[in-house]
Structure 1
Amino acid sequence: MTHIFAHRGSAGTHPENTMISFMEAARVEADGIELDVQLSRDGVVVVIHDETVNRTTDGTGWVGQMTYRQLRKLNANYKFKKYGFCPIPSLQEVFEWAKNTSLLINIELKNNLIPYERLEEKVIELVERYDLASRVIFSSFNHESMATCHQLAPHIETALLYMEKLHRPWSYAHTLQALALHPYHPTVDRAFVELAHANDLLVRPFTINKEALMKTMFQYGVDGIFTDFPEKAQNVREKTLRSL
């Protein structure tokens, strides 16, 4: 069955990458959550997508130039004002909550623009501390980082994020010992999914928000989708499975 990952939490209805968004994903019974991690100036692993706080908070500036204490003062509710104050979570805070759920956790390392020193080590240390290795997937557009993660923690799944079509991506993934491909959805068709599966790779396209596209991906038999609307995806998956 195709897993439904709530992209940055239930980001279509709640402030992305906040605890309230992750809790909503759990409430609607998504199979997993997806979140993005960076490092604060004082080395705390924080959950935020952009390299600056400008878009998703009431502040301005670079994440990596602000301390965790400074980041926590910002309100990350940006376009969902009705939810009140929503701080930027630390990865530890998310894990403290998630350890009591059964959610899969896709952690995207946001180090393709800024090479945060020791981000991989710090994230892996937290995963091990909370005994979540069997439920965690690492992904990144920085494929060197995924190779590093595999070298440091070969028992944790790694996945390659990419936007454009790749020639024989399964061969490339095998050289990095990645177990999954996370492609931009326009690059995915049924033949691609079948070839990836034949080469022992999982396929989880992003970001699938329209009902028709959800249905298509479920029919292709992808292993997971990332969506801002996990509750809608649950309903579409149920209807699609009944029709198969």
Structure 2
Amino acid sequence: MTQIFGHRGAAGTCPENTMVSFKAAFEAGADGIELDVQMSSDGQIVVIHDEKLDRTTNLKGFVKDFSYRELSKADASYKFADYAGHAPIPLLEEVLQWAASIPHFLVNIELKNGIIDYEGIEEKVIKIIRNFQMEKAAILSSFNHYSLAKCRELSEEIELGVLYSEGLYKPWEYAAKLKAGALHPHVYAVNRDIIVSAQARGISVRPFTVNNEAIMKELYEQNCSGFFTDYPEKARVLIPAT
């Protein structure tokens, strides 16, 4: 079964990485959501994609320079004016508390520590996952593969997804070295041979970010493990629930 992950929730129609967006993805029939985490100045794990607040909120500056109390007052409605005042930056705890109540719902947590080294972010995120007993429902991904290796040292049970954007030779072998159960390539860095070869070796393949309907259909026909999309409602229509 090809699983649909709402990329930053339902980011095509709602403010990305907000509870509004995550709930919309679930209501659209997504099998799970993808979100991004960074750390506030007081060590809280907050859900936001960019290192800086400028693009998606009414604040300016780096996430790392604000306390969560300050971040919680930000308006993260982004370009969706209808949600102004109703789309704050959530804590990872808030998202997992909600997701934990939904049977079989998956949460892909991307550690955004490729540019800023958030010391201890792996330990904090894994602790939160364990607090909500979501070890089997969570996936940890990152472009920082040193961070993924650290996550594996800290946890044997949580699945890891290797994020990459360009051609990687025999990526299933690389995933195996990291003890990762999944590859998360850019959609243009993957093809049928990679999907077949990886999945035959027990490595899931979930490309990002798939918004083109023709590509969605191709991935479904190839029995690809899953994909990330800004439009889970569109994907669900094309890929019927099983």
Q: Is TM-score (shorter-chain normalized) higher than 0.5? A: yes
State the Cα deviation string for residues 111-146 of structure 1 (Å, max 9, x = none).
011110100000000000011111000000001111
1:198 shift after superposition: 2.2
Q: How many equivalent residue pairs? A: 240
The counterpart of 2:113, out of the listed 95, 111, 118, is 111
**In 2, are the aligned partners of 1:189 and 1:220 still within 8 Å (CA)?**
no
1:50 shift after superposition: 0.3
What's the counterpart of residue 93 of structure 2?
Answer: 92
1:18 shift after superposition: 0.2
Q: Are positions 1:53 and 2:58 aligned together?
A: no
**Partners in 2 of 1:15 and 1:201 — Cα distance?**
32
The counterpart of 1:165, out of the listed 145, 162, 167, is 167
**Partners in 2 of 1:45 and 1:238 — Cα distance?**
34
1:199 shift after superposition: 2.2
**Partners in 2 of 1:189 and 1:172 — Cα distance?**
17
SS of 1:134's equivalent in the other structure is: coil
> What does 1:21-170 correspond to in 2, within 5 Å?
21-85=21-85, 86-102=87-103, 103-170=105-172
State the Cα deviation string for residues 38-88 of structure 1 (Å, max 9, x = none).
000000000000000000001100001110011111100010010121110
- Percent identity of equivalent pairs: 50
Greater than 6 Å deviation, 4+ residue runs: none
What's the counterpart of residue 2 of structure 2?
Answer: 2
SS of 2:141's equivalent in the other structure is: strand
1:28 shift after superposition: 1.4
More helix by share: 1
- Which structure 2 residue ranges, 5 or more long, are not aligned? none
The counterpart of 2:227, out of the listed 211, 216, 225, is 225
- Which structure 1 residue ranges, 5 or more long, are not aligned? none
1:174 shift after superposition: 1.0
